Amino acid sequence: MYADYFLDYASYVILERAVPNIDDGFKPVQRRILHAMDRLEDGRYNKVANIVGDTMKFHPHGDTSIADALVGMGQKNILIDTQGNWGNILTGDPAAASRYIEARLTQFAKEVLFSPKVTSWQFSYDGRNKEPVALPVKFPLLLAQGAEGIAVGLSSKILPHNFNELIEASIAHLRGEEFTLLPDFPTGGIMDAENYKDGERGTGRVKVRAKIIIESKKLLRITEVPFSVTTDSLIDSIVSASEKGKIKIAKIEDNTAEQADILIHLPAGSNPEQTQQALYAFSQCEVSISPNACVIVNNKPKFLGVSDILRYNATSTKDILKLELEIELTELNQEWHNASLEKIFIENRIYLSIEDCETWESVLETIDKELQPHIGLLKQPVTQEDIARLTEIKIKRISKFDAFKADNYLKKLDEQIEQTQKNLNQLTRYTIRWFENIKKKYGSNFPRKTEIASFDSVNRAQVAVANETLYIDEDGFAGYGVKKGEAICKCSSLDDVLIVDNNGILKITRIQEKFFAGKNPLLITIIKADEDPVFNLMYRDGRDGPLYAKRFKIGGFTRDKEYPLTQETKNTRIFHFSYHKTEEDSAAISVNVFIKDTGLLRLRSWVKPYHFSELRIKNRASQGNIVTKHPIERVARIMPTPKVSEEPAALTDQPDTGANQENPAVVDSPQAPPNNNPEIINNEENHEDGPPNPSQQTFLF
């Protein structure tokens, strides 16, 4: 019982409530509302309450659901001409009660929705009335209005498209040409539809932004909001982001009426461009919409792309126009036949022949006999109904018969028959003219409202307000919640932290209030997504291995994963590490490599200058180039000095004092804590005999 009942319920919800029919683009409640409005149509406005009451003859549900569906259609301003307070799609304000507002069909709706002679009818739920199975819609109305519904096990979300673009696409399809359809939202906004992918289920996606105008350094104005977002929800999202410290604003004013108008006042010193990007990143000023075009085709749900729906509707329009032309041609031929019979009946005074007939049968036989000589002038055989119709002609009409007018009327009918037959023979061309005429009559009322553009997703960490400070304490704990440590730099709660420990392990992690970064790291700083820094590294591989140097970039990375910058040999030691924003800064670094005297030479130490500009930039996993295989005493940066003479300055083996004027973040001790802008670290071996004698001559390789 459960299985049967649930299947019946699911089928009912899918077919009769939530999913639109591809034939006319309507859900049952919408179709019944329009049918009821057509029954009530007299050119004047009708109370919505009256329309709802008449619709309940066909729709077996409550008045609230009918009124809500009617208001939803009325707010789209395509099929229903409204009067009164119908709510506001920008603010989300509801419509007035149905007894206060009025509606009637638009001229466009009358022209494209109704054609009783080609409509298939069925009995209503109580058997007392007839309702259309589907309205003969001669327009891709489903794509113009859009649709949304949640059924059992599936849902439908069809985005609205532009009226004129749908006509152009229909004409292109009829001509066998390619076309592309993109959404157009009634609320406007800016849309990136590069990934729309024909609105196919599971793959299509569009990004829609509010239109934000920078009025001044202290004022932003929102004039259009994204589709499905109201001004109230938009303002709430901005206030929420401001309270979380992601956006700095002074106050918000909502002046929305017929058009959206939201004023965002900025505090002094704010960057309006950055705030604009932050609004896209942290509020509903940018939303992502995933279409899911599900429609009822042959009484079954089916997922299609919007191009498939348009092709179906354009072909359906052609078929409906064909049926209308065939019916019109049949009616014209019948009218010509009736007019010709009447002309023959009166001109030849056949009505006088039936004066002496005493029975109805003899009357019919006499008229039929008198018509036989003139049968050749007719296009179809004479039936008993035709003869009976001749007997109903009034004497007044016979007395006023004008043969000249009758001939002109027949000539006019001949022209109409010829034109109708021509339209049938050139049906595709006729359908194209139909669409062009619709565009000419109504297209000016539906300009494109949504601007088509291409924009990248905003990096939230890039535009977040840096209202926190990154600290690190003596125990190796870092974060913006560590207040007793050393201040490193300003940051936001969405930034990434780059850490290089004194073993040469690089790691990037999301900033937190407090996390363990390691004691005395070589580097801890904030790294932005658009930054691509260059690192210089000089290390000894193991206790007695060669000295390597390398320049590298981070490349791709996974957060919280450790990346070794050395070969991870035991007792590896880092002698030089520097961090640079640009390649030029990295290439400008030069160092002196002090090599230990092993006793084979009388000199106490050798000095080998090394320039990092000689190295190509590689990836972080490269081992680097060998600088020397000799034991290393220390490495010190060569400091640029101003020219005082043409003679070159003598190099000494004095230790670097750390007084780097270009780059003050020089640390002589490997145990020294990082500075606010840690860029250069030079490590030295301890000297058993004290520091080298500056008076000693140095040997340059």
H or E segment and range at residue 237: helix 231-243
User: Is residue 514 within 8 Å of residue 477, measured between CB atoms?
Assistant: yes
Cβ proximity of 525 and 579 under 8 Å: yes
**In angstroms, rounded to a whole number, what is the distance separating the alpha carbons of residues 299 and 160?**
23
Strands, E assignment, 528-624:
534-540, 547-553, 563-564, 573-580, 590-596, 605-611, 617-619
CA 61 to chain centre: 35
Q: Name which of 196, 197, 221 is nearest 208 in CA terms.
A: 196
Q: What is the DSSP string of 464-491?
A: S---EEEEE-TTSEEETT--SSEEEEEE
Cα–Cα distance between 292 and 182 in angstroms, integer? 14
Q: Where is 276: in which H helix or E strand?
A: helix 272-282
Nearest Cα neighbor of 163 from 439, 460, 461, 506 is 439
CA gap 213, 190 in Å, rounded: 12
Catalytic residue (one of 100, 471, 563, 610): 100
Q: Terminus-to-terminus CA distance in the chain, angstroms?
A: 94
8 Å CB contact between 472 and 512? no
Closest CA to 86 of 114, 147, 45: 45
Query: Is 5 a catalytic site residue?
Result: no
Round to whole Å and give the CA distance between 187 and 209. Answer: 11
Instruction: Give residues with Cβ within 8 angstroms of 234, minimum separation 6.
Output: 210, 222, 225, 262, 283, 284, 285
CB atoms within 10 A of CB 426: 12
Rg of the chain over Cα atoms, rounded to whole angstroms, equals: 43
Q: Helix (H, G, I), strand (E, B), or coil: what is residue 674?
A: coil
Closest C-alpha to 452, from 189, 168, 143: 189
Give the pair of three-digit tokens for residue 299. 């009484």
Classify residue 685 by burial, with Cβ atoms within 10 Å: 0-12, 13-18, 19+: middle
Place of tokens 């506001």: 88
Q: Which residues are catalytic?
A: 100
